[in-house]
Every structure is written in C-alpha cells, then in structure tokens.
Structure 1
Amino acid sequence: MMLGRRTACLSAIAAAFAATRPALAQARAVVAYTAFSDGVTALAPGFKARSGADVQIVAAGSGELVRRLLAERTRPLADCIVSVGGEPIDANPGVFARYTVQGDAAILPAVKVSPNWIPFSVTIPNVLAVNTRLVPEAEIPSTWAELADPKWKGKIAFAGADRSGSALQQMLQILYNFGEDEGWRLFERMLENFVITGSSGAVPRGVAQGEYALGLTLEDFAGRYIAGGAPVRVVYPREGITLGADAMALVAGGPNPDGGRALLDYIASVEAQTLIVQRFGRRPIRTDVAPPAGAADPSTLPIKNIPVEWSNARQREALARYLRLVRR
C-alpha cells in the first residue's frame, strides 16, 4: 500500500514536471529581420537560455527589410525588426506595432526620440573611416564638404541611401547641416566620387582592406577594424554628426507577437546590452551599463542631431530624389 502511494505520488510529480516542459521545449521560434546579423546572432543564445526559443534571422539592409515588410503587409512573416535605421520605421508606422519594453525606465531619455520604435544601441552613424596607408596625414579630410573634391572620385565608399538606414542618415545629415538647397548641391558633387557598395558592412571592410581610401560609416563599424589592427582612423566631420540610436520594433500582425515582444525585452536588458558593448564596441542604451572603454566623450564631438520632425517630413522626398540621381 505504501509502495502504491509512493508510485502514485512520483507519477503525479513526473506528470506535473512534464506539463511545464513544453513551454520551453516547444517554444516557437522568433523571426527577426535585421541589418546587424552578427549582433542578433550573438544575442540569440542568451535569449534562448531565458525563453527557450530560437531566433531565425533574415539579414539585409534597413531599406530592403522595410520594403520586404511592406510587401508582406497582408501576411507578415517577421515578428520584429532589429538594429535598423529609425527613419524607415517612422516613414511606415502602420507596418509596426508600438511596444514599451521591460526596463524602459532605464533607457537613456536622449535616444527615445520616436514612439514608433525602441532604441537598440547608441550609435554615431555618420563618421568617416580613413585608410591611413592610402591617405597622407595632411590630406585626411575633416569636413563633409571636402568629400566633394574631384580628387576623391572613385575612392569613397557609400552604402546607398536606398539600401542602408545608416547611409540614409548620412545623406540627411549633409542636407540638414548645409540647408537643403546647398546640401543637395554638395551631395550631388559627393555622389560623383562615391562607390556605392549596397551594404553598410562593406564600407568599413573595404576601407580597412585598402579597396577605398575613405568611407561613410558608423563609428562602431570602423572601431572594430581599428581594434583588429587595420590602418583605419575615424574622423568626425566638423560641420556636425548625429549621436542617436538604431532602432528595433515589433511587426504589426506578426506570426509570433509574444515571441517578438520577448526578444525586444531581452535586447533591452542589462545582460544583452552588456554583451553588445563587450562584443561590438557599441554604446549601450541603458543608464546602468558602462560604455565601451575609450569611447569618445560626446561632449568633445561636433554633435548636431537632426530633429525627428525634420527627418520624418523629408525622408521620403529625399530618398526619391536620391534614386533619381543614381539612376540617371
């Protein structure tokens, strides 16, 4: 009789334990569209340890990913978009669902600039990467305007404003710094010197390998090659740069919204933000996570942030004009 009760008790415990396992064992994978596949790949193990779910990554440039989401609008295939420019999200708010992540109170107020998206990491997306073996010290440009000099023809890498959120930000920075009329005249002259790579990652890689003398890129992208010993220097153009954040957002009507929210919550956590700093040299969005060692103090930089309202009002027209320029 005692054996029977013990067997029954053990069976009940086993059944109860088994009932808790499917939530982890059968957790549905989260589909994340991202322009930073290395970063999301690095975060995936920590997310799986916390949630039990895998992350399926679809990688492309910001603009390409948003166009894909627009094409899939009636039947979304992604649950969230991660580490892209905020501009295309703001330009297409109906594709995304607003969400406030857990830990929102710890996010730097300065980078919470739009209700349509959540900061992923703090970035300076508009710097120059310079190959110091190809460009003598005396010739290293210190301004945006110098990029229009014909001597740089075919020597400057640019990702393409229609393919890369950071490249769109770089173009808008030039227009904002100089005023739209003069900014467009200047950018058109720059464009004659640009080699359009089609992806943001190809820019610093090409500069580091000596394929290009200069490149318009993100601070942390260039920093990784500097840390690896490449002959690269970062220049912060004097007319002004933006210190902001790249974006992540929940896709409206995605197949696994709970999983999408859980992934965004995890990325905004102390654990994930610490990993982003340590592995990729990016600045954290949280006030309670230390920045990368040796990161330039923002107070020493020519920060000239583009107002969100200015950017939102102009980016569609600016992108259309850019496409006309590159296709003519």
Structure 2
Amino acid sequence: MGLVKLAAAALAAGATFFAFSARADGNLNLICSADVVICEQMEGAFEKKTGISVNMVRLSSGETYAKIRAEARNPKTDIWWAGTGDPHLQAASEGLTLEYKSPMLGELHEWAVKQAESAGYRTVGVYAGALGWGYNTEIFKQKNLKEPKCWADLLDPSFKGEVQIANPNSSGTAYTALATLVQIMGEAEAFDYLKKLNANVSQYTKSGSAPVKAAARGETAIGIVFMHDAVAQTVEGFPVKSVAPCEGTGYEIGSMSIIKGTKNLDNAKKWYDWALSADVQSSMKEAKSFQLPSNKTAKVPEEAPKFEDIKLIDYDFKTYGDPAKRKELLERWDREIGAAAN
C-alpha cells in the first residue's frame, strides 16, 4: 500500500480546509470506536460547526459490529466512526452499511481509498496505526525485567501475570493482533503461541487501549495495543515505552461507515465528509490521538509512530475482514484461549 512513502509525504504536507456547509438542524446518532477523549472532541466540534445534536455512544469495534447486526431490521445508529477496519469490512460485506462516495475521496491517501473500494464504498479509511505494545519502564526497572523486542520475547516466564491484551470478540485491536499472528506464523503455530502467552496474561480487557492504560497506571507491566495508544500514555507523562515487534506486525486502517437504514442520512453524510477533512484530522492531536491521518494534507503529529521505522506485514484485510474467517478465528480463540483463561 506504500504506507511508508505516504506517511513521509503526509509529514511534509500542510493542512487544507474543507468548506463545510452552513449550520444545520437535526440529530445524529453516532457510535465512536476510538478513545473516549477523541470521541468527545469530535462530537463537540461537529455540534459547534453544524448545529446538529449528536447522540454519541463509545463502543469497541467488535461490540459495535454486534450491535449493528442485531439492530439490522430497525437501525438505531446513523454513523459509525473509527475502530479497526476488519469489523467495518465485515459489516459492509453483510450489507449492514450504506454505499457512499464522499467528495473528499480525492484528498485521501491511497490506502484509505483502497479500503473504500474493497468494500464497495460502504466504508472508508480515516486513519492508520501499527500494532505493538507499551511497557512500564519503572516496573521493568523495579523487577529487573528485560525489554521485550519481539513477539517471542513476550513468552518469557519472567512476564507471568505481567501482560494484558483485549478480548478479540469485543476489541478490534485484539482481533488485529490475532489475525497478525496467524499471518506471521500460520494458524496452528499462532494458536500454540497464544496458549503459551496465556500463561503470562493477567487479564483480557474489553477495550483495545485498556491494557496500556493499565500499564501506565502500574497495574500491569505490558499492554499489547496499537502503538499510538502507547504513545498517548507517554505524552501524558507516564513511564511507558513503545515497541514494534521485530518479527513484523500488522496494522489497522481505522474506518468509518454509514449504517444502512439510517434515519438521518443527510446528517450522516455531513459527518462523513467533515471527518475526512484535513483540518478535522489535523486536530486529533489535541485529544492525544497519534494515528496517521487518511487525508494527505492533514498534519501528522511529531510523536506519531513512524511507519518507516516499523516492520509492517502485508496485512490481508480482505481475508481477515471476511465474516466467515473472522467467525472461525474467534470461535477457535474462545475454545482454545478464552476457555482456558476463565
């Protein structure tokens, strides 16, 4: 996808401004699958810009997919913003989301447009972020732990009870980790790895970013998360160091989708176009959000993980966003990992 070149180009670019329409009326029912701080910032900025009243709920991407699927006959949501792309692609393949070709597509990176094309324009990329982990340097010093630089290092017995990762049924972050390991190792070896890792995991959290927040607070030593979530804790002043695994790692294309059957289609389109604009994406740093924005001219935060420094795998979004494959992997995780963790 050329993410390295695209990231470098974005870093050199300045912000452009999208001429948005005059203030409007009405409501918008939004599910936000990013961190609650950026969700609230986006909600407030859109209301101020448009006069549209936003009813926002924060849910992990796996939870959102399940909710949208359950409410398919009588949708209660208009738009779904952010969260890993795999559940968005799954919703698109099941006809749960609406085709929409935004006039903003021409301003987006190739990887964001390809995400839209692969889904028949039923979703679009809004940001990208690489998978890794963050660890608490003070805990490591106190317990004389060695920095884990590779996936294999996380199996070290010294990390027993020191690792947190989310549950892939509720968290898009954790599903990306599961799919990443399968692509790196092969399915059988990946599940063997996860069984061994389970001995070191103290908790499978509901939210994808929760593990590194726990590490920041000193409740665990290591949180497996998207690296930008670890960076956010470092910027807040916590003793957290980010790591990109040496064997390679997957990445997310955080996405956005309009729900089929929305009662507020015009307002959903207004949000969609607005959220793809350079000025809106440039402001995400204000909420300590450090992903790579999808708009080519949006400002990339200096603190954001540099894709050129990370060994990225050629993540197969089509295969691992497929409903059948996702169901198969999650059921196996429940049987072999989740059951053993309870």
Q: Normalising TM by the smaller chain, what interval?
A: 0.7 to 0.9
Q: State whether residues 277 and 283 of structure 1, in contact with CA within 8 Å, keep that contact through their aligned partners in structure 2.
A: no
For residues 107 and 277 of structure 1, do their structure 2 counterparts lie closer, same or farther at Cα, with a shift above 3 Å needed?
farther
Match of residue 129 from structure 1:
134
Q: The residue matched to 2:82 in structure 1 has which SS?
A: strand
Q: State whether residues 60 and 171 of structure 2, in contact with CA within 8 Å, keep that contact through their aligned partners in structure 1.
A: yes
How far, CA to CA, are the matches of 2:161 and 2:208 in structure 1? 17
Q: Deviations over 1:28-59 (max 9, x none)?
A: 11111122232222022332233220211111
| Percentage of identical aligned residues | 22
How far, CA to CA, are the matches of 2:299 and 2:81 in structure 1? 22
Q: The residue matched to 1:50 in structure 2 has which SS?
A: helix
How far, CA to CA, are the matches of 2:82 and 2:180 in structure 1? 19
1:118 aligns with 2:124: yes
TM-score by length of 1: 0.87
1:189 aligns with 2:200: no
Match of residue 98 from structure 2:
97
Match of residue 151 from structure 1:
158
How many residue pairs are counted as aligned between the two chains? 304
Match of residue 34 from structure 1:
32
Of 248, 252, 259, the match for 2:260? 252
Q: 1:43-58 counterparts in 2 under 5 A?
A: 43-58=42-57
How far, CA to CA, are the matches of 1:166 and 1:294 in structure 2? 20
How big is the shift at 1:91? 2.1
Q: State whether residues 77 and 254 of structure 1, in contact with CA within 8 Å, keep that contact through their aligned partners in structure 2.
A: yes
How far, CA to CA, are the matches of 2:198 and 2:123 in structure 1? 30
TM-score by length of 2: 0.84
Q: State whether residues 108 and 287 of structure 1, in contact with CA within 8 Å, keep that contact through their aligned partners in structure 2.
A: yes
Of 122, 139, 143, the match for 2:146? 139
Query: Which amino acid letter does the alignment assign opposite residue 319 of structure 1?
Result: L
1:272 aligns with 2:259: no
Alignment RMSD (CA, Å):
1.9
Q: State whether residues 158 and 196 of structure 1, in contact with CA within 8 Å, keep that contact through their aligned partners in structure 2.
A: yes
1:307 aligns with 2:333: no
How big is the shift at 1:273? 0.5
How far, CA to CA, are the matches of 1:268 and 1:41 in structure 2? 17
How far, CA to CA, are the matches of 2:281 and 2:96 in structure 1? 26
Q: 1:54-93 counterparts in 2 under 5 A?
A: 54-93=53-92
How big is the shift at 1:189? 1.3
Structure 2: runs of 5 or more not aligned: 1-21
How far, CA to CA, are the matches of 2:198 and 2:320 in structure 1? 20
How far, CA to CA, are the matches of 1:327 and 1:73 in structure 2? 30
Q: State whether residues 165 and 204 of structure 2, in contact with CA within 8 Å, keep that contact through their aligned partners in structure 1.
A: yes
Q: The residue matched to 1:128 in structure 2 has which SS?
A: strand
Q: The residue matched to 1:248 in structure 2 has which SS?
A: strand
Larger radius of gyration: 1
Q: State whether residues 281 and 299 of structure 2, in contact with CA within 8 Å, keep that contact through their aligned partners in structure 1.
A: no
Q: The residue matched to 2:328 in structure 1 has which SS?
A: helix
How far, CA to CA, are the matches of 1:141 and 1:201 in structure 2? 19
How big is the shift at 1:89? 2.1
Q: 1:286-305 counterparts in 2 under 5 A?
A: 286-305=295-314
How big is the shift at 1:24? 4.8
How big is the shift at 1:170? 1.0
Q: Deviations over 1:86-112 (max 9, x none)?
A: 112222321111222231111110233
How far, CA to CA, are the matches of 1:306 and 1:270 in structure 2? 26
Query: Which amino acid letter does the alignment assign opposite residue 300 of structure 1?
Result: D
